[in-house]
């Protein structure tokens, strides 16, 4: 079966280079926090998000569960201004790789890791996990809004970041901003106090994206975010993903090859824990270099 080329989502030009500035809080890329065992690293801000810039780097990463490798010697760049799609059959290691980017794999005590992952040049193993997960946030396969109002779902992230819980007026602007960036504000503006669980599936997933964006992350991880949604909701979220790549680096795991073709700037094909091929979305689908990649995207297996 030959791969059928679907229409691509409209893209913005990325020809110009981005202007990058560092926070004023430090000159060094990382500072050790006394007594914590972790370092604090300043966030790198993009003054003009009109080109791809490196955010994270995966360097010879190997992850094993109880001694059995799930990911083997993977190296990848993750850039703001781009969408990176991880594709491959079930059990190939793509979700393990995704979860390693904010250290969720460490929640399994049987996990062992070699190699490293960096965020803005700092090894994430040196960052406090909760702080890291605010900067590298994840949206899961099934929408998982909290059993509270639409407003409080987004405000929860903002309130948990401070020592004191700010009142509604203090966080309102940030909540509106996050909902707007997730393309949901106009739909829920008059229902912010209604239970989030009453939203449609697509709206719930965009609410989860808004909740993730409220933390002002540098990287957004998406684990099959459209697998439980109808085609129209999928289309809305795909358009949102392409738009958001200007603000954050995006990594998405998807089994939908046409979705990967539509939205991904670069694609990584994984098989049995190995990174078989990495390249631009158009080249990997239209002219794959590896036979295993060709077989997978043509439907010979999967």
Ordered structural domains, the chain, with CATH: 19-297 (3.40.50.300)
pLDDT of residue 43 exceeding 80, the answer is no
C-alpha to C-alpha distance for 236 and 206, rounded to whole angstroms: 9
DSSP conformation letters of 244-274: HTTTSEEEEE-S-HHHHHHH-SEEEEEETTE
pLDDT tens for 102-120 read 999 999 999 999 999 999 9
Helix (H, G, I), strand (E, B) or coil at 163: coil
139 torsion bin: left (phi>0), alpha (psi -120 to 50), beta (else):
beta
pLDDT over threshold 80, residue 73? yes
pLDDT at residue 289 greater than cutoff 70: yes
How far is residue 218 from each of residues 80, 159, 161, 177, measured CA to CA in Å?
8, 19, 16, 16
First CA to last CA across the chain, in angstroms?
A: 12
What is the per-residue pLDDT for 15?
40
**CB contact at 8 A, 260 and 254:** yes
Q: Determine if the pTM surpasses 0.75.
A: yes
pLDDT value, residue 168: 87
The alpha carbon of 187 is separated from its chain's Cα centroid by a whole number of angstroms, namely 24
Over residues 214-260, the pLDDT tens digits come to 999 999 999 999 998 999 999 999 999 999 999 999 999 999 999 99
pLDDT level of residue 302 (50, 70, 90 thresholds): confident
Region 8-14: mean pLDDT is 44
Placement of tokens 């990997």 in the chain? 284
- SS3 state of residue 109: coil
- How far apart (Å, rounded) are the C-alpha atoms in residues 108 and 36? 22
How high is the pLDDT of residue 16? 39
Q: pLDDT tens-digit profile of 139-152?
A: 999 999 999 999 99
- Return the pLDDT at 166: 75
Instruction: Give the pLDDT of residue 30.
Output: 59
> In this structure, are residues 233 and 200 in contact, taking their beta carbons and an 8 Å threshold?
yes
Six-digit token string for 288: 């794959």
CA distance 239 to 13: 15
CB 266, CB 81: distance < 8 Å? no
Radius of gyration of the chain (CA): 19
Give the tens place of pLDDT for each residue, 203-212.
999 999 999 9
pLDDT band at 301 (very low <50, low <70, confident <90, very high): confident
9 CA to centre of own chain: 18
pLDDT digits (tens, 9 = 90+) for 177-203: 999 999 999 999 999 999 999 999 999
Give the separation between CA 52 and CA 14, rounded to whole angstroms. Answer: 7
CA distance 191 to 194: 5
Main-chain dihedrals φ then ψ at residue 101, nearest 5 degrees: -70, -20
Q: What is the mean pLDDT of the chain?
A: 86
Predicted pLDDT of residue 300: 85
* Structural contact between residues 70 and 113, judged by C-beta atoms closer than 8 angstroms: no
User: Which pLDDT band holds residue 213 (cuts at 50, 70, 90)?
Assistant: very high
d(CA 127, CA 131): 7
Helix (H/G/I), strand (E/B), else coil: 181: helix
pLDDT at 11 over 80: no
**Rounded distance, CA 8 to CA 178, Å?**
26
């Amino acid at each position: 079966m030959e791969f059928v080329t679907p229409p691509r989502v409209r893209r913005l030009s990325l020809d110009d280079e981005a202007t990058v500035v560092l926070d004023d809080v430090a000159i060094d890329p990382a500072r050790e926090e006394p007594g914590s065992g972790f370092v604090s690293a300043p966030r790198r801000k993009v003054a003009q998000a009109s080109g791809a810039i490196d955010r994270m780097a995966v360097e010879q990463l190997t992850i094993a569960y109880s001694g059995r490798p799930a990911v083997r010697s993977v190296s990848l760049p993750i850039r703001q201004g781009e969408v990176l799609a991880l594709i491959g059959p079930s059990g190939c290691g793509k979700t393990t790789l995704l979860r390693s980017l904010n250290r969720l794999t460490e929640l399994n005590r049987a996990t062992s890791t070699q190699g490293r992952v960096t965020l803005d040049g700092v090894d994430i193993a040196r960052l406090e996990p909760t702080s890291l997960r605010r900067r590298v946030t994840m949206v899961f396969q099934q929408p998982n809004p909290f059993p509270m109002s639409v407003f409080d779902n987004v405000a929860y992230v903002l309130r948990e970041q401070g020592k004191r819980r700010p009142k509604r007026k203090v966080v309102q602007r940030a909540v509106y901003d996050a909902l707007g960036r997730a393309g949901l504000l106009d739909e829920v503006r008059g229902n912010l106090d209604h239970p989030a669980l009453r939203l449609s599936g697509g709206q719930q997933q965009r609410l989860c994206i808004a909740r993730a964006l409220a933390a002002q992350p540098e990287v957004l991880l998406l684990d099959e975010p459209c697998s439980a949604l109808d085609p129209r909701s999928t289309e809305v979220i795909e358009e949102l993903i392409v738009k958001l790549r200007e603000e954050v680096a995006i990594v998405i795991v998807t089994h939908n090859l046409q979705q990967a073709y539509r939205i991904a700037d670069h694609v990584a094909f994984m098989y049995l824990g190995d990174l078989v091929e990495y390249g631009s979305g158009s080249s990997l689908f239209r002219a794959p270099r590896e036979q295993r990649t060709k077989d997978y995207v043509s439907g010979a297996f999967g």
